[in-house]
């Protein structure tokens, strides 16, 4: 069914979104379906985040994965930090090679490598990975990791669903990244060399319960394959972001992977807007349809203060959010010609539950950081 979509203008307002704001005002966007549906830009005398206090479920929150302490060499040992019916988000640390295989029977798995490097062995072959790589593993793929340098990684499960690439519309299929850049595992000498007749175990996650299957041989024993279902690797450095020097493009333009009820976006370095009338920091917006979870990978996130690599922020749906005061002050005096941030954003259509383990690494002062 079509939206009620009748463009109107009332009072003192800009004629185009995110540009030529009325003097002394702060723009706030109200929208449906995140940034994908109809929207209205409102112009306020005060920043919408200038609250005195926020109590309850709507409180913006921040977490520091560097403070996680756990041991184990299995991804299912990794702490579950956030979840809903459509996703499970973990943070994994591996110091040593995995001595078994794992398989996710609940959904596709997306691994974002925050630190370290290693080799991934799976049904499809051998894949070398390093810092900044996404590795998407289709549901049911058996895999294990051999560590070259201690690995820390974000794990994002698409529960009972699949990852897809975003629609690219007017800009064409090669925009953001050309699918030809996606790497796939190889049945190479290293893969053949790891095949043996020793006993191996596969730990399978199904319905959030673990089962163990033992084999008298290494089940990664494929000699070849062909088809259109396979793991893929993409590094953030291969992403060429959509941008405009005259318009601050919304986060939806940075979508990297999609699932039915959430999207994964990647913020990478890009030039600042240069048009003197264009807003050059993220606009305030009412986050009414999506919970927004951001993992900060590298650099200095230009709309946030007191946030370092390895931290995560959660902005629940139902409350406005936007740039910190320091970012607003720097809007006219940029730190250079380019942003230097790298971050992964997960926009979830359904409320993300915060685990007890996540609460142990929370920075409780985040809600006051807009003051």
Annotated active-site residue 114? The verdict is: no
Residue 18 marked in a binding site: no
> Would you say 321 is a known binding-site residue?
yes
3-state SS string for the chain: CCCCCCCCCCCCCCCCCCECCCCCCEEEEEECCCCCCCEEEEEECCCCCCCCCCCCCCCCEEEEHHHCCCCCCCHHHCCEEEEECCEEEEEEEECCCCCCEEEECCEEEEEEEEEEEEEEEECCEEEEEECCEEEEECCCCEEEEEEEEEEEEEEEEEECCCCECCCCHHHCCCCECCHHHCECCECCHHHHHCCCCCCEEEEEEECCEEEEEEECCCCCCCCCCCCCCCCEEEEHHHCECCCCCCCCCCHHHHEEEECCCEEEEEECCCECCCCCCECCCCCEEECCCCEEEEEEEECCCCCCCCCCCCEEEEECCCCEECCCHHHHHCCCCCCCCECCCEEEEEEECCCCEECHHHHCCEEHHHHHCCC
How far is CA 1 from each of CA 14, 154, 155, 172, rounded to the nearest angstrom? 29, 37, 36, 27
Q: Catalytic: which of 18, 126, 248, 315?
A: 248
Is there a binding annotation on residue 285?
A: yes
Q: Which residues are catalytic?
A: 248
Annotated binding site for homogentisate: 321
Annotated binding site for Fe cation: 285, 291, 321
Annotated binding site: 285, 291, 321
């Amino acid at each position: 069914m079509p939206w009620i979509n009748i463009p109107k203008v009332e009072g003192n307002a800009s004629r185009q979104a995110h540009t030529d704001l009325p003097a002394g005002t702060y723009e706030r966007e109200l929208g449906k379906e995140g940034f994908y549906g109809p929207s209205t830009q409102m112009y306020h005398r005060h920043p919408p985040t200038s609250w005195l206090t926020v109590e309850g479920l709507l409180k913006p929150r921040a977490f520091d994965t560097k403070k996680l302490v756990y041991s184990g060499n299995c991804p299912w040992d990794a702490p579950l930090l956030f979840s809903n019916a459509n996703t499970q988000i973990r943070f994994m640390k591996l110091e040593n090679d995995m001595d078994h295989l794992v398989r996710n029977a609940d959904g596709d798995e997306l691994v974002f490598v925050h630190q370290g490097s290693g080799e991934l062995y799976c049904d499809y072959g051998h894949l070398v990975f390093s810092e900044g790589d996404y590795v998407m593993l289709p549901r049911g793929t058996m895999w294990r990791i051999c560590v070259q340098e201690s690995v820390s990684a974000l794990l994002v499960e698409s529960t009972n669903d699949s990852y897809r690439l975003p629609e690219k519309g007017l800009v064409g299929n090669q925009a953001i990244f050309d699918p030809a850049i996606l790497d796939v595992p190889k049945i190479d000498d290293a893969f053949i060399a790891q095949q043996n007749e020793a006993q191996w175990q596969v730990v399978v996650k199904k319905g959030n319960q673990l089962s163990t299957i033992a084999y008298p041989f290494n089940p990664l024993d494929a000699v070849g394959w062909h088809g259109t279902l396979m793991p893929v690797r993409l590094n953030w450095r291969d992403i060429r972001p959509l941008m405009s020097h005259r318009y601050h493009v919304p986060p939806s333009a940075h979508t990297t992977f999609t699932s039915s009820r959430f999207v994964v976006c990647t913020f990478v370095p890009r030039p600042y807007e240069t048009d003197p009338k264009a807003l050059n920091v993220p606009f305030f917006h009412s986050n009414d349809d999506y919970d927004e979870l951001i993992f900060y990978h590298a650099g200095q996130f230009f709309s946030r203060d007191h946030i370092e690599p390895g931290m995560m922020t959660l902005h629940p749906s139902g409350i406005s959010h936007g740039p910190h005061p320091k970012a607003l002050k720097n809007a006219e005096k940029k730190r250079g010609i380019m942003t230097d941030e790298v971050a992964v954003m997960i926009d979830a259509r359904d409320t993300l539950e915060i685990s007890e383990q996540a609460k142990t690494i929370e920075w409780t002062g985040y809600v006051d950081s807009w003051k």
